[in-house]
A = this chain, B = another copy of it.
Amino acid sequence: MTDKDLQTVRVKQDRMIDMLHYTCGFGTGLRWGSEPTDTGMARLALSDTDKQARDWFVETTKALGCEVVVDAMGNTFAVRPGRSSDLPPIYAGSHLDTQPAAGRYDGILGILAGVEMLQLLRDHEIETEHPIGVVNWTNEEGARFPISMVSSGVWAEHIALEKAHNVREVGGGSATLKSELERIGYLGSVPASYRSNPMAAHFELHIEQGPILEAEKQKIGVVQGVQAYKWFTIDVEGRASHTGTTPFSARADALLLASRLISHSNHVAAKHSALASTGILTLSPGSVNTVPGNVSFSLDVRAAADETVATVVAELKRDFAQMANGEFSIGRIPLSVQWTTDFESPAVLFHQDCIGSVRAAAESVLGDSMLFRDMTSGAGHDSVYASKRCPTAMIFVPSRKGISHHPEEWTSPEDCALGAEVLCQSILRYDRMMSKSVRIF
C-alpha cells in the first residue's frame, strides 16, 4: 500500500463506538451521568461478564475471518492470515478486564480499535504480508488476581506459569486464576509463551490516564516507553502514648513522623522531576486519644530513568533516617524507619521501528505535528512485557481531566477514532516496512 492508499483506510467512528458501548453491556458498573452510556464498568477478570466479553471477542473476530487461539493463561489471539504464513503476526493488543469501579476505555478501547482494524482490513480487502492479529491479555488489571499484567508476563516468560495459575482472588474467595480459567472455559491448550506463540510486533492503543494531552490540546501521544518505578512499604515505629498526658518532648509519634516523611518525599521527588506518592497508610493502635506507636505507608517512586528513581530513593533513605533521629525537631526520642521493597519495574524503552511507525501514522492521520507529542507512560501495560520479546510501541489518546480507574473515565468518540486510525496505520506501516526488509527474495 502506498501512503495515499493508507489514508483511505478511515475508521468508522460510529461503528466502533457503538460496538464499544455494546460490549460495555457485559459488566456494566456505576452510573455517573444521565446518558444511556454514562455508566462505568465492573468487569473483573474471569468473571461471568468477562466470559461474555471474551465470547463476543471470539465470535466477532472469527466472523471477520480470524483464527482464534487461546493459551494456557486464557490470552486470546485472533489472527487474520497474511501473505506469508511463516511470518509471526503483528498484533494490536490490550485487555477486556477492568477495575471494580472502572470506566469504559482503559484496555477496552485498545481491543475495540483492534476489532475495528480487522473490520477495515476486510472492508478494504487489504492484504498484508504478516498475519495481523488482536490479542486480549488476561487479568491485566490485577484487580481480581493481584498480579498486574500477569498473563503477558507469563507469555514473556518473566512470570512462571504455575505461580500465575495459583494466584488466589482477592477478598478471601477460594478461586484461583486457573480454576476460574477452567470454570469459564478459557484454559487453552497452547503454551503461554512467546516461543510457541511468537509476535512480530505489538502495538497498543490506550487512554493516557493522565492530564497532559488534554491540557496541551493534543490528540495523540507517541509513547516512547514506560517510566521506571519502585514500590516500598515504610514502617515507622515509635511509641504509643496518651494524647492528654504525654508532653511533645516525651513522645515518639509515629504518625507525626510519617506525615513529615510523606511531605518530604514530595519535595525531593519534585526537585528531581520525579514522582513520589503514598496511597496506603495504616496505623496502630488507632484511637482518638492515643498517639500512634506504629505507622506503615506505601511509597511509589517514579521517573523516566532508572537513575532518577535511584537518586530519589537514596536521598529519601538518608533523609528519613535523619528525620527519625529527631534532627527535624520531632522530639527527643528517636523512632525507627524500615524500608521494604515490594515491587520494582525498570524503565522500558519501546522499539524505534515501532515508534517510528506510530509517529508516521500520527503525522499522516493528524496532518499537524503540533497535535501529537512524544510521551512516557506513567503506568504499566501489557506492552511492557510484550516489549521484552518483540518490537513494541504504544499510542495514547486524551483522558478527560486525566481521570482513570473511575466510572467517569472518558475519551471523546472523535479521539477514540483518531487513536484507532493511528493504530491501524501504524500496524500497516510496520507490516510494509518489515516486509521490505525481510522479503529479500
**Which A residues are within 8 Å of any B CB, using their own CB?**
208-212, 215, 227, 229, 231, 240-248, 250, 253, 255-256, 258-260, 262-263, 266, 269-270, 275, 277-281, 283, 285-292, 298, 300, 302, 342, 377-380, 402-406
Q: Nearest 5 A-B pairs (CB), nearest first?
A: A210-B245, A244-B378, A245-B378, A243-B277, A259-B259
Select one of B243, B278, B291 contacting A302, CB under 8 A.
B243
Neighbouring B residues of A250 by C-beta, 8 Å = 210-212, 215, 402
Select one of B229, B275, B283, B402 contacting A248, CB under 8 A.
B275
Given contacts A210-B244, A210-B246, 15 further A-B contacts (CB under 8 A): A210-B245, A211-B246, A212-B250, A240-B405, A242-B378, A242-B402, A242-B404, A243-B300, A256-B278, A277-B289, A277-B291, A279-B285, A279-B289, A280-B287, A288-B300
**Nearest chain-B residue to A253 (Cβ)?**
B277
Neighbouring B residues of A253 by C-beta, 8 Å = 266, 277
Select one of B287, B291, B292, B298 contacting A288, CB under 8 A.
B298
Neighbouring B residues of A269 by C-beta, 8 Å = 248
Neighbouring B residues of A215 by C-beta, 8 Å = 250
Q: Which of A229, A287, A289 has the most CB of B within 10 A?
A: A289
Select one of B231, B262, B285 contacting A255, CB under 8 A.
B262
Number of copies: 2
- Rounded to whole angstroms, the CA-CA distance of A290 and B378 in the bound complex is 12
CB–CB B210/A290 < 8 A: no
CB distance from A7 to the nearest CB of B (A): 31
Neighbouring B residues of A378 by C-beta, 8 Å = 242-246
Neighbouring B residues of A255 by C-beta, 8 Å = 262, 278-279, 281
CB–CB A262/B266 < 8 A: no
Neighbouring B residues of A229 by C-beta, 8 Å = 244
- Rounded to whole angstroms, the CA-CA distance of A281 and B286 in the bound complex is 8
- Rounded to whole angstroms, the CA-CA distance of A437 and B385 in the bound complex is 90
CB–CB B292/A286 < 8 A: no
CB–CB B300/A240 < 8 A: no
What are 11 inter-chain pairs, A to B, with CB distance below 8 A?
A210-B250, A211-B246, A211-B250, A231-B289, A243-B275, A243-B300, A243-B378, A244-B275, A248-B269, A256-B278, A278-B292
Select one of B240, B291, B379 contacting A244, CB under 8 A.
B379
Q: Which of A227, A243, A270, A281 has the most CB of B within 10 A?
A: A243
- Rounded to whole angstroms, the CA-CA distance of A380 and B242 in the bound complex is 11
**Nearest chain-B residue to A345 (Cβ)?**
B244
Neighbouring B residues of A405 by C-beta, 8 Å = 240, 242, 290
Select one of B210, B243, B279 contacting A287, CB under 8 A.
B279
